[in-house]
């Protein structure tokens, strides 16, 4: 297994055949290589899971699930109005580490829209503070498939 460690909308591509492709594997590491997965300085601040800031030894696939949840917010709220006002993408450093209050709040625009409400619920399940509480990728995909029907 591989941890990408920089999942965000700008690293997700869509082919002409409507296939989703993940790009930019410059920070990716094998899950079984503990030394390489503990490097806390990788990834873009607002998409980094809390455990990457502490240098936790058990950084695993939930790191990417957390970032996927934030990426889903980018899809749902494409205006980037969810960025904290103090965030400077060009100056992405540890001093900008995500804080709980930086998590986007549910946009008023999705009220009374069952699909978007369900999508927001999926987002919150992806960005749980506790890595063990996050959905695994199969459950994320299963929920997305059920939402599309």
Active site residues: 6
Residue found under tokens 């965030």: 87
Closest CA to 82 of 97, 93, 96, 72: 72
Closest CA to 64 of 14, 5, 19: 5
Q: How far apart are CA 124 and CA 78, in angstroms?
A: 17
Inter-residue contact 50 to 97 (CB < 8 Å)? no
Inter-residue contact 35 to 60 (CB < 8 Å)? no
């Amino acid at each position: 297994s591989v941890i990408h460690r920089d999942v965000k909308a700008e690293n997700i591509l869509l082919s002409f055949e409507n296939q989703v492709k993940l790009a930019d594997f410059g920070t990716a590491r094998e899950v079984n290589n503990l030394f390489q997965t503990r490097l806390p300085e990788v990834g873009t601040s607002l998409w980094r899971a809390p455990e990457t800031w502490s240098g936790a030894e058990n950084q695993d696939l939930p790191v990417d699930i957390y970032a996927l949840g934030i990426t889903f917010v980018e899809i749902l709220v494409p205006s980037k109005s969810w960025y904290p006002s103090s965030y400077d993408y060009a100056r992405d450093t540890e001093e900008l580490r995500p804080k709980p209050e930086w998590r986007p709040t549910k946009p008023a625009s999705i009220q009374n829209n069952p699909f978007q409400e369900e999508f927001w619920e999926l987002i919150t399940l992806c960005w749980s503070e506790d890595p063990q509480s996050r959905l695994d990728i199969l459950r994320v995909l299963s929920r997305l498939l059920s939402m599309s029907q």
